Amino acid sequence: MKTFRTRFIEFVSYFFILLFCYASISKMMDFENFQIQIAQSPLLSAFSNVMSYGVLVIELAICILLIFERSRKIGLYSSFVLMVSFTVYIYMILNYSEFIPCSCGGILEKMDWKTHLIFNIATVIIAAFAVILYSDSKRQEIFKSVSLLLVLSIVSCSAIILMYRQSEFMIKKENNFTRRFLQHPITEEKRSNLQINSYYFAGISKDSVYLGNYTAPFLLTSTDLNFKATKENRVLPDRYNFDFKRVQLKVNAQNYYLYDGSVPVIYQGILGNHQAKTLSLGQAYFSQLVNISKDAFAISTYFKDSEKQTLGLLNPLQKNPLNLKSGILGKTNDGIFDTDGQLHFDPLTQIAVYVH
């Protein structure tokens, strides 16, 4: 029995040394990211600077205490307190937090928060059992150890709850300019390496993603949604006698469009067909263009009469193709910078939006 008790205490001590050493080293290797994760915590945002250093110091100090036999008992008590604190923290994240932040780094990053909770509860149990075994076999000594563990548990829980309440008060009432990021705004499903950085999104359909390329402006690349099958379609305009500066490609439904606003020309082609025919010639210069239907466009252009950027509609097949809406954007200074923005179109609601 004595041999089992000694071996079990040693095993638990080595386990916590390995756990805390790995955790602290992985945090130090990516310390900036660790600080950001603490700052985005819904429970500890206000104490992110102190906590980021404090956790590292405590984990390394516990490792040192567990190495030496004289201080091992204190190290086991400290391990118990730290794991109870982590367990309460995760429980509050899962049940009382406004959102669930990213998980820890390292090997524990593969665990979800519920698995974290189960893992931490298990470590609390083995730490408590090791402390009890460290005591003499007398009932009085065991009772003292159990009582001390209960007191430490209450203190740890109270400290985490107090920090949570104080952090929420400081963030919401006495804002210290800690910025919280959007949680999981993008979840990666698949990835494809394009090798070069000159691609841009030209459009999307139910089964394909279309890309243009600034270094190969007459090349339309398509890939399926699994990023496995890639096709390249070279666009051949019916006339080339223009001094293009920045040609762009856009895909809408079964058609693609090629244009350069510095040249008043728009080409239209059918997906899968190399030939692109002139749809609009000499009707409008523009800085931005979005396709709102098969043969109609919303544009932004500089209107000389009002000396400012102006939104308008371009319908190449109509008798009066250009309809400028000079009253939409208000001029306050030069008419260019103060009216600058991005033109978008939502095909579902059929609404053009200018982010100004």
Integer Cα distance of 20 and 14 in angstroms: 10
Integer Cα distance of 51 and 59 in angstroms: 12
Residue 348 has pLDDT above 80, yes or no: yes
For the chain, what is the mean pLDDT?
Answer: 85
Q: In the predicted model, what is the mean pLDDT of residues 265-290?
A: 93
Among the listed residues 159, 176, 182, the one whose alpha carbon sits nearest the alpha carbon of residue 48? 176
Q: What is the pLDDT of residue 342?
A: 92
> What does residue 347 show for φ and ψ, rounded to 5 degrees?
-70, -20
| pLDDT grade for 346, boundaries at 50, 70 and 90 | confident
Integer Cα distance of 2 and 19 in angstroms: 26
Query: Residue 71: exposed, middle, or buried by beta-carbon count in 10 A (0-12, 13-18, 19+)?
Result: middle
- CA max distance for the chain: 102
Q: What is the pLDDT of residue 50?
A: 82
Q: In the predicted model, what is the mean pLDDT of residues 289-317?
A: 89
Q: What is the pLDDT of residue 184?
A: 58
- Nearby residues of 103 by Cβ (< 8 Å), 6 or more positions away: 109, 111, 112, 113, 116
Integer Cα distance of 120 and 16 in angstroms: 12
Integer Cα distance of 197 and 211 in angstroms: 12
Sign of the alpha-carbon dihedral angle for 72, 78, 82, 83: positive
Integer Cα distance of 29 and 27 in angstroms: 5
> Please, which residues bridge with residue 257 across strands?
250, 268
Integer Cα distance of 258 and 247 in angstroms: 7
In one-letter notation, the amino acid at residue 153 is S
Integer Cα distance of 106 and 108 in angstroms: 5
Beta strands at 208-213 and 322-325: parallel, antiparallel or unpaired: unpaired
Neighbouring C-beta atoms of residue 197, cutoff 10 Å:
8
Q: What is the pLDDT of residue 140?
A: 80
Q: Which two tokens stand for residue 180?
A: 């919280």
Which range of 75-89, 96-110, 187-201 scores highest in mean pLDDT? It is 75-89
Beta strands at 275-281 and 265-270: parallel, antiparallel or unpaired: antiparallel
0.75 cut: is pTM over it?
no
- What is the phi-psi region of residue 74: left when phi exceeds 0, alpha when psi lies from -120 to 50, beta otherwise? alpha
Q: In the predicted model, what is the mean pLDDT of residues 91-111?
A: 65
Strand positions, DSSP E, the chain? 199-204, 208-213, 219-224, 230-234, 236-237, 248-252, 255-260, 265-270, 275-281, 288-293, 296-303, 308-314, 322-325, 342-346, 351-355
Integer Cα distance of 262 and 26 in angstroms: 52
Q: What is the pLDDT of residue 335?
A: 75
Residue 272 has pLDDT above 80, yes or no: yes
Q: What is the pLDDT of residue 168?
A: 66
CA distances from 154 to 128, 169, 203 (A): 14, 22, 58
Q: What is the pLDDT of residue 179?
A: 60
| Residue the block writes with tokens 């051949």 | 236
Integer Cα distance of 231 and 249 in angstroms: 15
Residue 164 has pLDDT above 70, yes or no: yes
Beta strands at 236-237 and 275-281: parallel, antiparallel or unpaired: parallel
pLDDT in tens, 127-163: 999 998 887 667 788 888 899 999 999 999 998 888 8
